[in-house]
A and B are shown apart, each in its own frame.
Chain A
Amino acid sequence: MKKILRDKRAIILFVLPALLVYVIFAIYPVIMSGYYSFLEWNGAGEAKWIGLDNYKSLFFENTDGFTDALLNSFVLAFLSVFVQLTLSLILALAICHPRVKKQEKFYRTVYFLPAIVSTVIIAELWKKIYHPSYGLLNGFLSQIGLGSWQREWLGDPKTALIAVFVPIIWQYIGNHMLMMYSAIKGVPGELLEAAYIDGASYLQTCFRVIIPLIKDMLIVCVTFAIVGSLKVFDLVYVMTNGGPLHATEVPGTLMYSSIFMKNQYGYGSAIAVFIVLECVIFTFASRWVMYRMFGDDSNRQDVRRRGRKSK
């Protein structure tokens, strides 16, 4: 058996195809992006090594509003964590209520539905919803007598940002709900029963038993929501492409336009590298902060260990 498992020829045959494709089409390009980010290059002519100048102009010269774009992505991260995840948690807890058992599957399936539809379709559909004259939103407003609230949601720089963020949040509520739901289902039944016998209401059980026990999953969700917001592109690109008047610009759209509209290859690559670094840093930082804030006290760890075992 040992001999068979050390068969060099078989190992090469098994690993090499995957490794080749992966290194050529994922690892090599990322490294090259890092290299490009130190260049001043319009793609066709001579490339000039300019060190960290691209990164400097990202933050200090701010000619194309990069810091505003960054701020917009932070707004989205904030909304995702505090609005989207709160809603997801409420829904997940609600459909785990013992009385909802029968309809549970229905709710799960329906809430998750927008998440499987491609972002481009969601974006096109919401463009229609926001349509100034025949859109669902303005139509609805005039129906309920709020005609004065009607506006060009995507055309007005004041409302465009929030109008773009609403569908992003809407689309992935079900995604986070599902993650939390699966964690709640992992909470050992004895604990819920014990809480019930002790006379706790479902609301109390949620706050005292379930939420502390699914803390790990909540942290995963927060990390996902933040990182997803920082690298958002598709939906913003399709709905507004950063407009009107750069009101909805995010780092992803700025990167795309720097490279393909303005031929600033080096500068665009610096944005790309920045997005990668930012995502890595936020992944670790958000976990570290959250574990610090809601650090494990020994009692709960006990409970969790018991919970794990019975899983």
Chain B
Amino acid sequence: MKKMQKQKRHVPPAFLLMTILLMAVALVQVFPFYWMLTFSLKSNADIYGGNIAGLPTTLHFENYVKALTTGKIGVYLKNSILITLSTIVVVALLACMASYALLRMEWKFQKVTFALFLVGYMIPMHATLLPLMKLLGKMGLLNSRLALIFPYIAFGLPFAIYILSGFMNAIPRELEEAACIDGCNIFQIFFRIVMPLLKPAISTIVIFTFLSAWNELMLAMTFINDASKKTLTYGIMSFEGQYAVDWGTVGAGLSIATIPVLIFYLIFAEAFQKGIVAGAVKG
């Protein structure tokens, strides 16, 4: 009894301290973004006048207009969306098909091929930069969106196939057998029976592929020169160089690039977090 009382008296201050600590960390994680939003709406006069961390005195939405039009952030955003979306769709489809053949069907070199795919997860994209540039040059793909889509797909596949292999093994074979008896051919079995069962794995793949393709910088800045084909990562870099002294416009550009992802994240927070953990546990 005494002990319980003691605990009751002791825990709250410790808990209070912990809450303060946790809130402080939360503030540190979020404050830079809050600050970005505030200066995206300020004028230079406001910032140079010493209003660094405060709220804007008047809201300058024209910063956003400038970033989107003359700053071309809108174009970069479109390119990033196109490239990321095609990468995701192709990775998900090809990985599902390949892992079905690799894990369920029966052929001679399936183990070796599976191992070959998994090796890819150890390769950093950096290490392929120069040969890829030469290769894409020969294919005449440099400076096009495909120059990024192909490598992104190639580097998305190993992870996707790994994730799928776990799920694939968990699908009971009886389902496919039943479908077979009902007269389905292999394509019907795959698209009607197997694919729908892989949905949870696919959502993990989508998130993981999204983050890596959307955020990729090194290939994007090496293979693309044309301003009309730049992705957000590289675009933001040149944009910042161009408007360096124009704080409001830079802030607006950064905010435009951040907000869509942020909204997705806040809606699908659980799925995002599950995707990351799944990708890590693999290691």
Where the two chains meet, the residues of A that have a C-beta atom closer than 8 Å to any C-beta of B are 1-2, 4-8, 10-11, 13-15, 17-19, 21-22, 24-30, 32-33, 36, 87, 91, 94-95, 97, 99-100, 103, 105-121, 124-129, 134-136, 139-140, 170, 173-175, 178-179, 182, 199, 217, 220-221, 223-224, 231, 233-234, 237-238, 252, 255-256, 259-260, 265, 268-269, 272-273, 275-276, 279-280, 283
Is there contact, CB below 8 Å, between B217 and A231? no
A-B contact count (CB 8 A): 271
Give the secondary structure class of B's interface: helix
A182 CB to nearest B CB, Å: 4
With both chains docked as a complex, state the minimum distance between the C-beta of A31 and any C-beta of chain B, in angstroms.
Answer: 8
Shortest Cβ distance from B280 into A: residue: A179
- Contact flag A128-B250 (CB < 8 Å), given A7-B186, A94-B18: yes
A272/B29 contact (C-beta < 8 A), A10-B187, A26-B154, A178-B276 known: no
Contact of B273 among A6, A21, A108, A140 (CB under 8 A): A108
What are 17 contact pairs spanning A and B, CB under 8 A? Answer: A14-B100, A17-B98, A18-B95, A18-B97, A18-B98, A22-B120, A112-B273, A116-B272, A119-B215, A125-B32, A128-B36, A134-B47, A140-B53, A170-B28, A178-B273, A217-B281, A279-B124
Chain A CB within 8 A of B1 CB? no
Flag whether B122 is at the interface (Cβ < 8 A).
yes
- Secondary structure at chain A's binding surface: helix, strand, loop or mixed? helix
- Chain A residues positioned under 8 Å from B222 (CB to CB): 260
Task: Beyond A116-B272, A259-B130, list 14 extra A-B contacts (CB 8 Å).
Answer: A7-B186, A15-B101, A18-B98, A18-B117, A21-B153, A21-B154, A28-B131, A28-B135, A33-B128, A135-B52, A136-B32, A237-B218, A273-B127, A279-B124
Does the CB pair B32–A175 fall under 8 Å?
no
Chain B positions within 8 Å of A118 at CB level:
214-215, 217, 232-233, 257, 261
Q: Which of A18, A127, A272, A283 lies in contact with B126, CB distance below 8 A?
A: A272
Name the contact of B105 in the complex, choosing from A11, A128, A280 (C-beta under 8 A): A11
Inter-chain contact A22/B130, CB cutoff 8 Å: no
Residues of chain A contacted by B52 (CB below 8 angstroms): 134-136, 139
Q: Which residues of A contact B100 (CB under 8 A)?
A: 14
Q: In the bound complex, do residue B277 and residue A182 qualify as a contact, i.e. CB atoms below 8 Å apart?
A: yes
Instruction: For the complex, give the distance between the alpha carbons of A289 and B95 in Å.
Output: 34
Listed stretches B60-68, B196-204, B262-270; interface member? B262-270
Kindly list chain A residues whose C-beta atoms are within 8 Å of the C-beta of B130: 29, 32-33, 36, 259, 265, 268-269, 272
Q: Report if A129-B33 is in contact (Cβ < 8 Å); known contacts: A5-B104, A15-B101, A21-B157.
A: no
Residues of B184-226 at the interface with A, using a CB-CB cut-off of 8 Å, are 185-187, 189-190, 211, 214-215, 217-218, 222
Contact residues in A for B233 (Cβ distance below 8 Å)? 118-120, 234
Beta-carbon contact of A220 and B154 below 8 Å: no
Q: Which of A8, A114, A121, A139 has the most CB of B within 10 A?
A: A121
B220 nearest CB across to chain A (Å) = 9
A259 to B19, CA, bound (A): 50
Q: Is B228 an interface residue (CB 8 A)?
A: no
Q: Per a CB cutoff under 8 Å, which of A1, A220, A265 touches B280? A: A220
Contact A25 B154 (CB under 8 A): yes
Chain A residues, Cβ within 8 Å of B251: 128
Nearest residue (CB) in B for A238 is B237
- Indicate whether B113 reaches chain A with its CB closer than 8 angstroms: yes
Q: Does B132 contact A (CB under 8 A)?
A: yes
A5 and chain B: residue at smallest CB distance: B105
- Identify the closest chain A residue to B282 (Cβ): A220
Query: Given the complex of chains A and B, what is the CA–CA distance between A135 and B156 in angstroms?
Result: 38
Contact at A115–B276, with CB atoms within 8 Å?
yes
* Distance from A211 Cβ to chain B, minimum over Cβ atoms (Å): 17
Give complex CA distance A211, B236 in Å.
41
Contacts A11-B105, A119-B217, A120-B233 given; does A109 touch B269 at CB 8 Å: yes
Question: B18 contacts which chain A residues (CB < 8 A)?
Answer: 94, 97, 100
Chain B nearest CB: distance from A81 CB in Å?
Answer: 15
Most buried by B among A6, A14, A33, A99: A14
Contact indicator A259/B129 (Cβ below 8 Å): yes
Q: How far is the CB of A28 from chain B (nearest CB, A)?
A: 7
B162 at the interface (CB under 8 A from A): no
Is there an interface contact between B283 and A15, defined as CB atoms closer than 8 Å? no
CB distance A1 to B218 under 8 Å? no
Q: Is B8 an interface residue (CB 8 A)?
A: no
- Nearest-neighbour CB distance to chain A for B92, whole angstroms, equals 11
Looking at the complex, which one of B151, B211, B280 makes contact with A26 (CB distance below 8 Å)? B151
Q: Does B123 contact A (CB under 8 A)?
A: yes
Q: Which of B117, B124, B180, B266 contacts A1 (CB under 8 A)?
A: B180
Instruction: Out of B126, B154, B265, name the residue touching A22 (CB < 8 Å).
Output: B154
Contact partners of A114 in chain B: CB under 8 A: 29, 32-33
Q: How far is the CA of A125 from the CA of B273 in the complex (A)?
A: 24
Shortest B179–chain A CB gap in Å is 9
User: Contacts of B157 on A, CB cut-off 8 Å?
Assistant: 18, 21-22, 26
